[in-house]
Amino acid sequence: MKTLHVNLSDRGYPIWVGEGLLADAGALLARRGFSLAPVVIANRTIMRLHGETLMRSLQRAFGRTEIIRIGDGERFKTHATLLQIYREMFRAHADRRSWILAFGGGVVGDIAGFAAATFMRGIPFVMAPTTLLAQVDSSIGGKVGINVAEGKNLIGAFHQPAAVLSDTGVLKTLPKRELASGLYEVIKCGAIRSERLLRYLEKKLPEILSCRAAELQHIILAAARIKADVVASDEREGGLRMILNFGHTAGHAFEAATGYRKFKHGEGVAWGMIAALAYGRELGLMNTRDSARLVRLIRSVGRLPSINAISVDTLWESFIRDKKFQSGDIRMIFLRRPGEAEIHTGVDASSLRRFLKKFLASGGNLI
Amino acid sequence: MKTLHVNLSDRGYPIWVGEGLLADAGALLARRGFSLAPVVIANRTIMRLHGETLMRSLQRAFGRTEIIRIGDGERFKTHATLLQIYREMFRAHADRRSWILAFGGGVVGDIAGFAAATFMRGIPFVMAPTTLLAQVDSSIGGKVGINVAEGKNLIGAFHQPAAVLSDTGVLKTLPKRELASGLYEVIKCGAIRSERLLRYLEKKLPEILSCRAAELQHIILAAARIKADVVASDEREGGLRMILNFGHTAGHAFEAATGYRKFKHGEGVAWGMIAALAYGRELGLMNTRDSARLVRLIRSVGRLPSINAISVDTLWESFIRDKKFQSGDIRMIFLRRPGEAEIHTGVDASSLRRFLKKFLASGGNLI
């Protein structure tokens, strides 16, 4: 097991990464100072696959442990599920001394974290993320929340976990497409902050895709460290934190334009990065060799669902509805070179739209 | 107008108190740095009485200003109202640069503050409290939230306002019982921290009850300062902040035992203080003269609804369900002398129950 410390003035916390950690969860958390049993919030799928390992470990350390099961998938990240969680917490006699353990992917982490942020004005929570995406991305940074009819993550809070426990072993049961989806976020971390991580990925991709523990641990720690560093220096998302959105403005638009059905989040980001790289090259911000190198790495992870059926009108509409697309002043993240991101303000809307039209017409093959 | 500054490391804010402030709200807030129009969240009653004054002032400073009207009363402090607020905010194209102005009593402040805490992970909000209780109590401290079937304020957050604007003029249209209800909280502030405020209240009660501006301003500032001091030294409610609960453990039980229908919150607190004073005297923590003096002040505010019909079983059940009544370790606030509170842990449950039985049997006239 390796530990990464996230430094936040008064609420720093450890991220533990290692193979087989779930079996030690109880002991680790007891050593961290927890003495009562948590309320576990988990999705049904992960409970079936790895619930027994976790629960046995928790029960050994804390005794009887309550479980709240929620549906598996983004469509359950709603107010209705949140109210279900509150209800079951009250039924389990949870009070302000209680704490939550979120066990699952990004959806579980987001909604369980928001429940923790708001139950009796805030109780602690620990995350045990079970997808690569959640381990490298959504479990770090303290963003929690739910979706509403008007859009994703529009209701939420900032609530930092008390600890994050990432077991690389559970990734073996993750569908390959989910693994790839997480890898795109790892590539993003390298792209914005670490050329070294990019080189590692280029060299070790086969081992990573076959879930070798050492290589998974390496990339999870590297990506988590990058995200944690950026977040620590800009907790409430004023400036630097924006570079984490590389590939995300376009990525969200690809997701939204296809009704969140065609792409996994990471796949949307992959397309968003390819688009940003192509646009950056067109604007003369990055040379062809560097942008081609990054596109090659992204494409080598796996086959991306095609963008052929998306019309520029639909894509553009999703673009301008995105909350990151602040009215008047369009901001985008570009790379200056692999490992170095730049925030550009005042992007010209009509040339961006023209570019997207060309990008779609090429099937995303401008580079 | 007088200003009190609440000191919180990075989120301090001003409390403005004065006669006729609503008419200057726009200018004051523009000077404070706001440049866009707020979303006003208000209850229908206050809008009818004072809405025009406020809206004219806001529109002069910020242009077109949206209003979200909610029902008047505690029974509207629910998830359903919260969802209504979110919906109307999206309809009004609110985004992360928006801010909320809560215009009304404690219910409006709590729910609008919670909407602000959770809308797009948190936007600023300003309170314009329109009841004495809200001006001296609920507008200070950053506690926001809603009620659920299982109890009051069980879902919520800590979210500090950007400013509080208390117009003493609006208190003239406040029902007398509401004014008294707020006064009990003012007495509580004196009781726990300021014998001087108690003397002022004893001397100026007639002027206060007839809503004289100078006297109202004085007691609002004095009570707000006491609450703000206590809160600033203990923002997340670990220790000292508990003394603000003087009269509240029993007070909440009186409210709950009568289904929240018989007593205003402040009236419950008044009975809770009388009970705590009588019990403190019985335990030998305070002498008869001091406790009688405080009970006299409380009773001189007005006639309290009787507690005769409450059974000790019902009261006790509400007592032990209160979230402040931590299992195993019963804590209560007592006065050592007027102006000085003490937290007592390890209160004996069975002797407390015996005392409550006697207190109810006396009709609350033990002192």
Tens of pLDDT along B215-269? 999 999 999 999 999 988 875 666 788 899 999 989 999 998 998 889 999 999 9
Whether A234 contacts chain B with CB within 8 A: no
Contact A109, A85 (CB under 8 A): no
Contact A128, B90 (CB under 8 A): no
Q: Indicate which residue of B50, B193, B218, B252 is catalytic.
A: B252
Q: Which of the listed ranges A224-228, B99-103, B349-353 does the model predict with the highest average pLDDT?
A: B99-103
Domain boundary among A151, A173, A195: A173
A266 inside domain: yes
How confident is the model over A55-104, as pLDDT tens digits? 999 999 999 999 999 998 889 999 999 999 999 999 999 999 999 999 99
Instruction: Say what the pLDDT of residue A319 is.
Output: 82
Whether A117 contacts chain B with CB within 8 A: yes
Chain B nearest-CA distance from A82, in A, is 11
SS (H, E, C) chain A: CEEEEECCCCCCEEEEEECCHHHHHHHHHHHCCCCCCCEEEEEHHHHHHHHHHHHHHHHHHHCCCEEEEECCCHHHCCHHHHHHHHHHHHHCCCCCCCCEEEEECHHHHHHHHHHHHHECCCCCEEEEECCHHHHHHHCCCCEEEEEECCEEEEEEEECCCCEEEEEHHHHHHCCHHHHHHHHHHHHHHHHHHCHHHHHHHHHHHHHHHCCCHHHHHHHHHHHHHHHHHHHHCCCCCCCHHHHHHCCHHHHHHHHHHCCCCCCCHHHHHHHHHHHHHHHHHHCCCCCHHHHHHHHHHHHHCCCCCCCCCCCHHHHHHHHHHCCCCCCCCCCEEEEEECCEEEEECCCCHHHHHHHHHHHHHCCCCCC
Task: Name the residue with higher pLDDT: A347 or A180.
Answer: A180
Tokens at B330, concatenated? 């019963």
B366 inside domain: no
CATH code where residue A207 lies: 1.20.1090.10
Looking at the structure, tell me whether residues A22 and A167 fall in a common domain: yes
For the segment B178-207, the average pLDDT, to the nearest whole number, is 97
A217 inside domain: yes
Tokens at A212, concatenated? 């070798």
Give CA–CA dist B68/B79, Å, rounded: 15
Give CA–CA dist B54/A323, Å, rounded: 30
- If 0-12 CB within 10 Å is exposed, 13-18 middle and 19+ buried, where does residue A105 land? buried
Mutation for testing the A interface, residue in B118, B235, B241, B331 having most A CBs under 10 Å? B118
A19 inside domain: yes
Give CA–CA dist B44/B46, Å, rounded: 6
Looking at the structure, tell me whether residues A191 and A325 fall in a common domain: yes
For the segment B146-174, the average pLDDT, to the nearest whole number, is 95
The three-state secondary structure class of B14 is strand
Nearest to A157 among B86, B122, B327 (CB): B122
Whether B158 contacts chain A with CB within 8 A: yes
Q: What is the crossing angle of helices A106-118 and A79-91, to 10°?
A: 60
Of the pLDDT bands very low, low, confident and very high (cuts 50, 70, 90), residue B21 is very high
* A327 interaction partners in chain B (CB closer than 8 Å): 95
How confident is the model over B86-142, as pLDDT tens digits? 999 999 999 999 999 999 999 999 999 999 999 999 999 999 999 999 999 989 989
Name the DSSP letter for residue B327.
S
Looking at the structure, tell me whether residues B207 and B351 fall in a common domain: yes
Inter-chain CB proximity B118 and A155 less than 8 Å: yes
B92-119 burial code (b ≥16 CB/10 A, e <16): eebbeebbbbbbbbbbbbbbbbbbbbbb
Tokens at B194, concatenated? 């300021």
Mutation for testing the B interface, residue in A100, A114, A154 having most B CBs under 10 Å? A154
* B156 interaction partners in chain A (CB closer than 8 Å): 118, 120-121
Looking at the structure, tell me whether residues B197 and B248 fall in a common domain: yes
Of the pLDDT bands very low, low, confident and very high (cuts 50, 70, 90), residue A126 is very high
Looking at the structure, tell me whether residues B163 and B278 fall in a common domain: no
B18 inside domain: yes
Instruction: Say what the pLDDT of residue B260 is.
Output: 84
Whether residue A235 has pLDDT greater than 80: no
Q: Indicate which residue of A248, A255, A264, A281 is catalytic.
A: A248
Of the pLDDT bands very low, low, confident and very high (cuts 50, 70, 90), residue B7 is confident
List the single residue in B with minimal CA-CA distance to A110: B121
ipTM score assigned to the predicted complex: 0.90
Looking at the structure, tell me whether residues B168 and B229 fall in a common domain: no
Chain A nearest-CA distance from B156, in A, is 4
Whether B289 contacts chain A with CB within 8 A: no
* A118 interaction partners in chain B (CB closer than 8 Å): 118, 145, 155-157
**Residue labelled with tokens 């553009």:** A316
Contact B61, B35 (CB under 8 A): no
Whether residue A112 has pLDDT greater than 90: yes
Whether B93 contacts chain A with CB within 8 A: no
List the single residue in B with minimal CA-CA distance to A143: B121
The three-state secondary structure class of B143 is strand
Q: Indicate which residue of B96, B121, B261, B303 is catalytic.
A: B121
Domain boundary among B146, B172, B198: B172
How confident is the model over A163-175, as pLDDT tens digits? 999 999 999 999 9
Inter-chain CB proximity B148 and A122 less than 8 Å: no
Instruction: Say what the pLDDT of residue A192 is.
Output: 97
Looking at the structure, tell me whether residues A115 and A192 fall in a common domain: no
Count of all residues that appear for chain B in the document: 367
**Residue labelled with tokens 């919180």:** B8
Domain boundary among B172, B199, B227: B172
> What is the average pLDDT value for chain B, to the nearest integer?
93
Mutation for testing the B interface, residue in A121, A146, A320, A323 having most B CBs under 10 Å? A121
Looking at the structure, tell me whether residues B164 and B44 fall in a common domain: yes
Instruction: Say what the pLDDT of residue A141 is.
Output: 87
Q: What share of chain B is helix, strand, coil (3-state, %, to 5)?
A: 55, 15, 30
Looking at the structure, tell me whether residues A183 and A317 fall in a common domain: yes
Looking at the structure, tell me whether residues B229 and B142 fall in a common domain: no
Nearest to A323 among B86, B120, B122 (CB): B120
Of the pLDDT bands very low, low, confident and very high (cuts 50, 70, 90), residue A325 is low
Instruction: Say what the pLDDT of residue A322 is.
Output: 66
Q: Is B79 a catalytic residue?
A: no
Q: What is the crossing angle of helices A265-282 and A288-300, to 10°?
A: 170
Instruction: Say what the pLDDT of residue B322 is.
Output: 66
Looking at the structure, tell me whether residues B133 and B214 fall in a common domain: no
Whether B148 contacts chain A with CB within 8 A: yes
Of the pLDDT bands very low, low, confident and very high (cuts 50, 70, 90), residue A153 is very high
Inter-chain CB proximity A86 and B119 less than 8 Å: no
Looking at the structure, tell me whether residues A166 and A183 fall in a common domain: no
> What is the average pLDDT value for chain A, to the nearest integer?
93
Chain B nearest-CA distance from A144, in A, is 8
**CA Rg, chain A, in Å?**
20
B134 inside domain: yes
List the single residue in B with minimal CA-CA distance to A157: B121
**Overall number of domains in chain B:** 2
Whether B209 contacts chain A with CB within 8 A: no
How confident is the model over A274-304, as pLDDT tens digits? 999 999 999 999 999 999 999 999 999 999 9
Backbone angles phi, psi at A333, to 5 degrees: -100, 130
B367 inside domain: no
Q: Is B227 a catalytic residue?
A: yes
Chain B nearest-CA distance from A29, in A, is 22
Whether residue A324 has pLDDT greater than 60: no
Inter-chain CB proximity A90 and B150 less than 8 Å: yes
Give CA–CA dist B229/B245, Å, rounded: 15
Of the pLDDT bands very low, low, confident and very high (cuts 50, 70, 90), residue B273 is very high
Domain range for A219 is 176-361
B136 inside domain: yes
